[in-house]
Each structure stands twice: as structure tokens, then as C-alpha cells.
Chain A
Amino acid sequence: MSSMATDLQTRARQVLVLRFTGAERVAHWVHFVAFTVLLGTGLFIYAPFLKAFAVGEAGIATRLAHRVAAIAFIAAPVFYLVFSPRDFFYSLKESFTWGKDDWGWLQNAWNYYAHGKAGTMPPQGKYNAGQKFNALTQIITFGLFVITGFVMWFGKGSVSPDVFMWSVVIHDLSVIATVLLFMLHLYLVAVHPLMRESITAMFEGTVTEEFAKEHHGKWLAEKVYRKRDK
């Protein structure tokens, strides 16, 4: 028995679901690059073992790069708001809306993501509880980064040393909170054996129907099918 090559047109039709608009994806990647650069250039000052990059002229360049990346970091959500306002506010609202399905997700998360056991995992909206938690942390720390960052940038001498030092402490706590989630985020989209497809949503904007069904069932039913079937 042998199987032959087939025409693309005769194969079962693949159904894709649009998850992120172009503007959302651009904003996400600008945020990603800015965050990575901020983290890299910030760590040179934070971590003694990276001291070589913090010294003298190299240090001045590192600190300048941190400032340039900070502008991009601020620009990313502004871009999102301007070019995709509906999705911006939808995502914002979703992040702040928590219900029993979110607690259900939290209860089942370890078994689901470590052993592939669905248990009583409830269907999720456009963002599952973990993604919402990530988004909330990003939103809160964004505010903290901007305020404390600008105090550290322009505040020396005009704010009291205590305010400056609190800013450094809060800047660092924000770094720690976001870095832990960043590690988890990178792991889930790029390393976790069962979740690799999620990243195509950020590259191509779409995921397969099966993936959307499995991971964002509620969203698919309420926001995608209902609109299509109208």
C-alpha cells in the first residue's frame, strides 16, 4: 500500500480563528523587545556579576539604552490603544473580570498543565485565569515602572533620598514580579510540550479551531461562533 501526494484544495479544510489583530501583535512585540532590553540593561546595574557592563562608558551606554527602551515600553500600550481601541478595552475589561471559571482554572491548572488531566477544567474566555493574572501584573507594574523610573531618571536632588530609595525598591520589586511571570510566559509559549501552538496567535494572529476549542471554549462560543452564525 502506498499513499500519494494530494492537492491542497482537496484536503480537509483547515479552520483558523483570529485571536489577535495586527495592531495587537505589533504592540505585543514592541512591548516584548522593550521589556527584554529594559531587563537586560537593568540587570547590569542590579547584578554584581554583570558589573563589567555597568562600568564607565559601557555603563553610560547601558543606562542610555534603558532610557530609550523605556520610551518604547511606554509607546507600546499607547500604540495598542490608538490602533486597536476596541480590543484594547476588551482585553482591559477581561483582565479585571474574575468569576468562578477563573477559580476553576486555578484549581485545575497544575493537573492540566503538568499531567494533561482536564479534571473539572471549565471552558475559558479569550484569556484564561493565568493570562489574566499576567495581564493584571503587567498593568499594575507598568504604572509602577513608569512612576519609579521617572523618579530615578529625573528626580535626583528634587525628591528626598527616601522617596528615591523607595522608588528603587519598588522598581526592583516590579522587576522581580514581572520576571517571574516572564519566565513562566516564555516557558508556556516556547517550551511547554502541550502549549506550543499558542505562539502562532502572536506571530500569525490565528490559532486552529481545535486549539481555540480546547483552550478558549467560552470565548469561541460567545465571541466567535455567535458572531459568525448571526
Chain B
Amino acid sequence: MAKAMFIDTSICIGCKGCQVACKEWWNLAPTKTTQVGTYENPLDLNADNYTRIRFNEYEASGKVRWLFLKWGCLQCTNAACVDVCPTAALKKNEIGFVSLERDLCNGCGYCSQACPFNIPRMETINEFTGEAKATKCTFCQDRVTNDLTPACVKTCPSAALGFTDRDKVLATAKTRVENLKQLGYTEARVYGETELGGLGRVYVLTAPASAYGLPEKPEYPALTNLWQNIVQPFGYVAAGLTAAGLALNWFATRRAQLGNVETIKPEK
């Protein structure tokens, strides 16, 4: 049964406990932070930060408020990263996340370029040899496949995060949106129910998606489609037809050649 991560941005307090729990569980190295006038840090995902809280200021009806967005791999159902991965290091897991097997990854980085949300980050080991490993949130694949919740969910002090059956998550999210609307958050909505076949992260938003820096309608990358489903198959067909043409040519030429050859055979 597919599960999902419930993320209620209306009660997230931006404490970043989830970031810390993630780093602890995955034993990730600390990274240098940058002071930009808010507590937002790090300012982007990287090979040592699989999740982070994005800070956005939002002004509506004369009031300014913070929008906190817990960010990380959205675990698409129609996952472009899985389709472009040449090693199957990335796979769709039936629990509802995209698993990542580090040993299988060869560092090509196609996933990092195909992702419509710009999530996977390469841990570059050597720029010249190209040696690298892809990194991303897997909902703590070792935990969730053993009936535990992701480390970030476990640690969240405001219960803004949850992890359970996707149906239940969606039902809770919808009820929550209704409540928020009654409370005056008229723009409240669910994000993730149908996007890209359904996301593993289901968000309760209190403002339009764009206010959070989320794409209103995320789309499967057209170039990935062109490359994988048109160009590559075309290559096989073209090579096959060429081979057939050459075989045809060989038989024709051989016939013409033998027509002009006389072979003398030795006595039996």
C-alpha cells in the first residue's frame, strides 16, 4: 500500500529540526552556512543536505507572513529520474517513494538534470574522471521499509509532518484545507495529489503554489521524453534498417560477382 508524507505548512514553525534529524540519520557532514538576514539555511539542497526548509515572505491583504516549505525529493509517480537512470540505481518503490541504491549509481548525473523539481544533487568525487554519486531524500528508505517513519517526521515537534497511507494523508489534507478556508485562508489548497501522477509528498498550502516557489503545474520534462522515447528508439530502428540494407546489398553483389566467375574444381 502506497504511503505518503503529510506536510502541513500552516503549522510548520520553521524550526529545521527535520534538517537536523535527516543529517543525523544519514550521518551527513556539516556544510558552511550563509547569513542572508533570515534563519534560512542552507540556501539550497546539496550532497550533504537532503532536506531543508525554504523560507518565503508572502504578502496578502496587507499582512506579511512567512511561508515555510519543507523541501526535498517529492517522490513523483511519473518519475523522470527513474526513467533516465541507466543503472536502475533509482527505482520506484511500492511504498511510494523513489529508492536510491548508492552502489549501483555510476555518477552520470542524468537524474539531476531530468528532475522537474531540481532535486538530486551529485556528490562529485572527481570532476575530471566524472566520478560522482547521486544523492537525494528517499523518505529514509532503510527506515520506511522497516515500518518506521522517516527521521524528519519522527522529530517534527509541531506535528506538521506525518507519514502514513496515502489515502489517509489525502483525506487529512483535504479536511485541513477546509478548516483553513473557514479560518480565512481562502487560498488554502492541497499540492501533490495528482501532480506528475501523484507526489509522495502531500502539502497543505495556505497560499498559491507560486508563493512557495512551487511550479503551479509541474510537468514531465519534454526533452527527456524526446531523448528516451523518440531519439533512442529511432536509433535502433535506423541501425536495424541499415543492417538489412547492407545484407541485401551483399546478396545482390555476390550474385553479380559469381555470374562472372568460373571455379575449376580438382579431380575427385
Contact = CB atoms under 8 A, between A and B. Distances in A.
Interface of A: 44-46, 48, 51, 54-56, 58-60, 62-64, 67, 113-117, 153-154, 156-157, 161-162, 164-166, 168-169, 172-173, 175-176, 179-180, 183-184, 187, 191-194
Contacts of A113: 249, 253
A192 B109 CA distance: 42
Interface string B38-67: 000000000000000000000000000000
Contacts of B88: 51, 55
B249 A60 contact: no
A64 B129 contact: yes
B231 A162 contact: no
Contact of A55 (B104, B112, B254): B104
B103 interface: yes
Interface residues of B, number: 46
B253 A59 contact: no
Given A62-B106, A172-B227, A54 B86 contact: yes
Interface stretch (B10-18, B178-186, B187-195, B235-243): B235-243
A173 B231 contact: yes
Given A54-B106, A67-B130, A180-B242, A191 B250 contact: yes
B86 A45 contact: yes
Contacts of A116: 253, 256-257, 260
Interface of B: 86-89, 103-110, 112-115, 118, 122, 127-131, 221, 223-224, 226-227, 231-232, 234-235, 238-239, 242-243, 246, 248-250, 252-254, 256-257, 260
Given A56-B103, A58-B106, 13 more contacts: A48-B86, A67-B129, A113-B249, A114-B256, A117-B256, A168-B110, A172-B235, A179-B239, A180-B239, A183-B242, A183-B243, A184-B242, A193-B257
Contacts of A193: 250, 253-254, 257
Given A56-B106, A168-B110, A183-B246, A115 B131 contact: no
B231 A55 contact: no
A115 to B, nearest CB: 5
A208 to B, nearest CB: 18
A63 B108 contact: yes
Given A113-B249, A116-B257, A165-B114, A63 B130 contact: yes
A175 B227 CA distance: 13
Given A59-B87, A175-B235, A169 B129 contact: no
Contacts of B231: 169, 172-173, 176
Contact of B223 (A62, A67, A153, A166): A166
Nearest to B116: A161
